[in-house]
Amino acid sequence: MQPILDETSLLPCPERPAAERIHELARTMRALDGVGAPRVLHSVRDAVDRDLGDGRGLRSWCFDRATQRDAGRFVASRLAAQPFIDGPSGLFAAAEGQRAVEARVHGHVVLGTGLAALTDGIVVILPSETRPAAEHLEVELSYLEDDGMRSERARVQSFAVAAEVERAREALVERLDRTVRDGTTLVRSFGAVFPRLLLGDRARDQISALSGNEPVFRQLIRHLRALDDGVVRWEDGKPFEPVSVTFSVESKATLDDGALGPMRDFPTPPGFDAERWTLHTKLTGGAGARLYFRAVRSAQRTVVLVGYFGDHLPTVMYRT
């Protein structure tokens, strides 16, 4: 579910300065980052040069003095990503496969929104006076195949401002989570789906080994999301808490036990001091899985480290 820029929104808007529109686009994209969407913005090849006013496109306006510096550079960096949507080796052609596909909105051929309709993508628009808010776009898809022509309709939601992303947060998170099929996919996209979490080596290996059919797999995603959301809501001077899931602290007796304590010495992500892990969430199903974590706040970054995901480890009360 990758963000796609609707190229039809790249038009002059005398009522709203291009610099203001770019700043809002940056806010929208950062809001999508916040829900775990992939950190890309796919566009057509000439998107950066389409006229937004005074004969200048995004390539120029992103670095204009009137454009907020960080916002302009943020948008420019995302638009530099390839592959592009159009062209024989572009994303639309890849989605077409062996068919020929044409996508239209209100009778006009569209590529970005058409790609979103074919791939369940997220459409982002450059807001303007004529399109100041999100809308559901009806996309007419026409397929030319070996056995003839057929048509179908698809609804695609576009986002114009950051507040719309926040209002749709729950639905977007649910869509993103559905794209995670197994542990390998989860680990491969971990930084995008859970940008505020870091995996230790053992946790990475344990999650990678999951087939996606385990009773706890969807619960694992929910608990990871609870940790990630907890970072967003973590207030200065207060202890960290995951959102909407309970967690426990390992007993001192277990941590100090000569045999059981070292079982909690999981590998720590690079750049962080090794400690004996104690905080963990509890998942139902299977053998009573546990997810061990550690929240870290410093001047440089605020993250949650994940050290272990697996069966309930023995304690002084329940030795194996």
**Best mean pLDDT range from 118-122, 124-128, 141-145:** 124-128
Residue 98 confidence (pLDDT): 75
Note whether 162 and 265 are same-domain residues.
no
Same-domain check for residues 7 and 149: yes
pLDDT at position 285: 58
Q: What is the mean pLDDT of residues 174-199?
A: 88
Of 21-25, 66-70, 129-133, 162-166, the poorest mean pLDDT is in 129-133
Token pair, residue 253, equals 């007796």
User: At CA 200, angle to CA 243 and CA 209, rounded to 5?
Assistant: 90
209 and 278 in a common domain = yes
| pLDDT above 90 coverage of the chain, percent | 61
| Predicted pLDDT at 34 | 84
Is 160 found in the same domain as 22? yes
CA distances from 252 to 241, 279, 281 (A): 20, 12, 17
User: Given pLDDT bands bounded at 50, 70 and 90, which one contains residue 175?
Assistant: confident
> How many Å apart are CA 295 and CA 278, to the nearest integer?
11
Mean pLDDT of 220-234: 91
Q: For residue 316, is it within any domain?
A: no
State the pLDDT confidence band at 195, using cuts at 50, 70 and 90: confident
Residue 174 lies in a domain: no
Residue 171 has a pLDDT of 87
Q: What average pLDDT score do residues 263-291 get? A: 89
Same-domain status, 159 and 213: no
**C-alpha distance from residue 106 to each of 26, 119, 135, 276 (Å):** 27, 20, 13, 60
Task: Mark whether 32 and 82 lie in a shared domain.
Answer: yes
Residue bearing the bigger pLDDT, 275 or 134: 275
243's CB contacts (< 8 A; 6+ apart) are: 225, 226, 229, 230, 233
pLDDT of residue 275: 93
Mean pLDDT value of segment 105-129: 91
Instruction: Using alpha carbons only, give the angle 23, 27, 32 rounded to the nearest 5 degrees.
Output: 145
Residue 285 lies in a domain: yes
Is 173 within a domain?
no
Mean pLDDT value of segment 70-88: 91
Is 160 in the same domain as 188?
no
In the chain, the number of structural domains is: 2
| Mean pLDDT, the chain, integer | 90
AA identity, residue 265: D
- Domain that residue 266 falls in: 181-310
Average pLDDT of the residues in 91-95: 90
318 pLDDT above the threshold of 80: no
pLDDT of residue 174: 82
Model confidence pLDDT, tens digit, residues 21-54: 999 999 999 999 888 888 889 999 999 999 999 9
Q: Looking at the predicted structure, is the pLDDT value of residue 286 above 70?
A: no
Residue pair 124/30 in contact (Cβ under 8 Å)? The answer is no
Give me the pLDDT at residue 178, please.
Answer: 77
pLDDT at 214: 87
Is 319 contained in some domain? no
Instruction: Let me know whether 144 and 216 are in one domain.
Output: no
Residue 320 has pLDDT above 60, yes or no: no
Residue with the bigger pLDDT between 66 and 34: it is 66
- 280 and 212 in one domain? yes
For 151-174, what is the mean pLDDT? 89
